[in-house]
Chains A and B, each alone.
Chain A
Amino acid sequence: MIVTHGLSKKFGSVLAVDGIDLDVRAGDRYGFLGPNGSGKTTTVRVLLGLIFATSGTAEVMGQPVPRGLKSALPQIGALIEGPAAYPHLSGRANLELIDSSAPGGSRGTRRTRIDAALEQVGLASAGRKPTKAYSLGMRQRLGLAAALLRQPQLLVLDEPTNGLDPQGIREVRDLLITMNAAGTTLFVSSHLLAEVKQMCMRVGILDRGRLVLQDELETLRAPTGRVVLRTPDVAAAVTLLDGRVEQREGDRLVVAGLAPEDLVARLVGGGLRVHEVVAERPTLEEVVLSVTGAGSDRVDSARGQAGPDSGSGPGVAP
Chain B
Amino acid sequence: MIRVEIRKLMRRPRTWISIFLLCLLPAIVAILLRVTHLGPRPGEGPAFLSAVLANGALFPAAALGIVLPLFLPVAVAVIAGDAVAGEASAGTLRYLLARPVGRTRLLVAKLASVLVFLLLSVSAVAVTAYFVGTGLFGSEPVATSLSGEPLSTSEVIRRTALVVLYIAWSMIGVASVALLLSTITDSSLGAALGALAVLVLSQVLVTLDAAGAVKPYLPTRYWLSWVDLFRDPILWSDIERGVLVQGVYVVVLLGVAWANFMTKDVTS
Contacts and interface: CB of A to CB of B under 8 A. Distances in A.
Given A45-B266, A51-B266, A84 B8 contact: no
Contact of A52 (B1, B7, B90, B263): B263
Nearest to B13: A88
Contacts of A88: 11-13
A294 B4 CA distance: 50
Contact of A73 (B4, B90, B99, B266): B99
B4 A74 contact: no
A49 B98 contact: yes
B102 interface: yes
A228 interface: no
Interface residues of A, number: 30
* Residue of B96, B98, B101, B267 contacting most chain A CB atoms (<10 Å): B98
* Residue of B99, B101, B102 contacting most chain A CB atoms (<10 Å): B99
A306 B225 CA distance: 66
A48 B31 CA distance: 56
Nearest to A97: B4
A81 to B, nearest CB: 8
A60 to B, nearest CB: 11
A85 B92 contact: yes
| Chain A interface, DSSP helix/strand/loop, else mixed | loop
Contacts of A146: 95
A93 B139 CA distance: 46
A89 interface: yes
Interface stretch (A21-29, A98-106, A173-181): A98-106
A11 B267 CA distance: 11
A82 interface: yes
A50 interface: yes
Interface in B190-240: none
B97 A98 contact: no
* Residue of B7, B11, B95, B263 contacting most chain A CB atoms (<10 Å): B95
B54 to A, nearest CB: 45
Interface in B31-70: none
A70 B94 contact: no
Given A88-B13, A97-B4, A80 B95 contact: yes
Contacts of B265: 11, 45, 50-52
B148 interface: no
Given A87-B90, A88-B11, A49 B95 contact: no
A70 B102 CA distance: 8
A50 B7 contact: no
Contacts of B94: 45, 48, 50, 80-81, 84
Contact of B90 (A50, A81, A86, A93): A86
A97 B90 contact: no
Contact of A45 (B1, B96, B102, B267): B267
Contacts of A70: 100, 102
A69 interface: yes
B99 A98 contact: yes
Contact of B100 (A74, A83, A86): A74
A85 B87 CA distance: 9
A76 interface: yes
Contacts of B11: 88-89, 93
A165 B51 CA distance: 68
Given A52-B265, A70-B102, A97 B91 contact: no
A36 B148 CA distance: 74
A78 interface: yes
Contacts of B96: 98, 101-102
Contact of B267 (A51, A76, A97): A51
Contacts of B266: 45, 50-51
A8 to B, nearest CB: 14
Given A52-B263, A101-B4, A84 B101 contact: no
A162 to B, nearest CB: 13
Interface in A42-71: 45, 48-52, 69-70
A95 B91 CA distance: 15
A101 B99 contact: yes
Contacts of B3: 100
Contacts of A69: 100
Given A52-B263, A52-B265, A97-B8, A84 B100 contact: no
B97 A86 contact: no
A84 B90 contact: yes
Ordered nearest first, which 3 A-B pairs have the shortest CB separation? A84-B91, A102-B99, A73-B100
Interface of B: 1, 3-4, 7-8, 11-13, 90-92, 94-102, 263, 265-267
13 contacts: A48-B98, A49-B97, A49-B100, A50-B266, A51-B267, A78-B95, A84-B90, A84-B95, A85-B92, A88-B13, A93-B11, A97-B4, A98-B92
Given A84-B91, A146-B95, 10 more contacts: A11-B265, A45-B265, A48-B94, A69-B100, A70-B100, A74-B100, A85-B92, A88-B13, A97-B7, A98-B92
